Amino acid sequence: MKDARDERRPAGELEAAVMAALWAAGAPLTPGRVQAELGSGLARTTVATILTRLHEKGVVDRERQGRGYAYFPVQDAPGLTARRMHTELDRDTDRETVLARFVAQLSPGDEQHLRRLLEGDD
């Protein structure tokens, strides 16, 4: 009964539930862990699909964990900066100087984070 009801819920509500679980956890979660955290009748494949969709939207990020991925919410302030940075870069024709100047202004913490993001991407 409960399984059927959970699977039939609108996609937006399922996304919200998964997102809430990720925020509440405060650490990257694998689809299996998210399913366990939700404690609902959602199938693991459904959870994985939702996570992929959220990742495509740029709402969550992921890192490799074992053979799969672990997902975590995009932190809002850095996420914002990243997006602003992107539009700034797209607007300016002289991409390289902008980039060079930008990197020079990074604090050690920012740099570390950039590296980790780059490593997580490939």
What are the residues binding other proteins (CB under 8 A)? Answer: 10-21, 23-24, 26, 37-40, 54, 57-60, 73-77, 79-80
Question: Residues 59, 74: contact at Cβ < 8 Å?
Answer: yes
By beta-carbon proximity to other proteins, the closer residue of 26 and 66 is 26
By beta-carbon proximity to other proteins, the closer residue of 4 and 77 is 77
Rounded-to-integer distance, Cα 107 and Cα 87, Å: 21
Smallest distance, other proteins to C-beta of residue 76, A: 5
By beta-carbon proximity to other proteins, the closer residue of 12 and 66 is 12
Smallest distance, other proteins to C-beta of residue 77, A: 8
DSSP code per residue over 19-44: HHHHHHH-S-B-HHHHHHHHTSS--H
